[in-house]
Amino acid sequence: MDMKPLITLLAIVNPLAIVPFFIHYTQGFSSEQRRRTIRTAALASFCVIAACALLGLQILEFFNISLQSFQVGGGMLLLISAMNMLNAQPAEAKTRTNELEEGAEKAAAGSSIAVVPLTIPLLTGPASMSTVVIYADRAQTFWQHAALVGYGVVIGLATALCFSLADPIARVLGKTGINVMTRLMGLILAALAVEVMADGLGKLFPILVAR
């Protein structure tokens, strides 16, 4: 079995690097709400990988969207999240938690945040999706496609494991450490967002990168 697709996906998704964002977006959540968010994020990560492996570019083609346009849109979403973190504004998760008073509604908000922005585009963004699509295009047999879906299971389990480490990490850092880390990661996220958008725009408008 070719393990290169799995190694590539783990390197691109890198759920451990998303732990600071998970801590930021789930501030104020109860233990049960965090566990629900972790489960939803892990399941959503698997679903995205599996959908890309089975359907590939057909999903984007159905909506008449190019992968390059998807990169620009995903980059804009990342940039908005980064600006909120840099300006010390409440994260989407925290805002919704304050607005919703019922426990069930809070849980629903946590599930929503687990999908956007934690899973899409932080965990499974255009880079990971395009990677799966490329390997799915190369797959020749049923078992090769099945292996790609199986790799989605591994990504989901890795996501659950890394996010489960968020609580001990938060206890070690404390509130001040989390605030410093949030701003630092916000700056890094802004740079990543610009890179994603620049790559997409360069492919949509080659004249922008022509020399």
What is the identity of the amino acid at 71? Q
Task: Tell whether the model's pLDDT for residue 56 goes beyond 60.
Answer: yes
| Cα separation, 110 vs 194, whole angstroms | 27
**Mean of the pLDDT values across residues 170-188?**
79
Q: In the predicted model, what is the mean pLDDT of the chain?
A: 81
Instruction: For 98, list phi and psi in degrees, rounded to 5.
Output: -70, -30
User: Is residue 40 a contact partner of residue 160, using CB atoms and an 8 Å limit?
Assistant: no
Q: What is the value of pTM for the model shown?
A: 0.70
Q: How many CA atoms lie within 13 A of 58 on its CB side?
A: 8
Token pair of 51 as six digits: 């959908």
Q: What is the pLDDT of residues 76-106, one digit of tens each?
A: 877 887 887 787 554 443 444 444 344 445 4
Token pair of 6 as six digits: 């799995």
Token pair of 37 as six digits: 């968010």
Kindly list the domain boundaries of the chain, sorted by start residue: 4-208
With both helix axes pointing from N to C terminus, report the angle between 67-86 and 166-204 in degrees, rounded to the nearest 10: 130
| Cα separation, 121 vs 124, whole angstroms | 5
Q: Alpha helices, DSSP H only, in 56-141? A: 58-62, 67-86, 92-99, 103-113, 126-138
Q: What is the pLDDT of residues 115-168, one digit of tens each?
A: 888 888 888 987 788 888 878 877 888 898 899 999 999 999 999 999 998 888
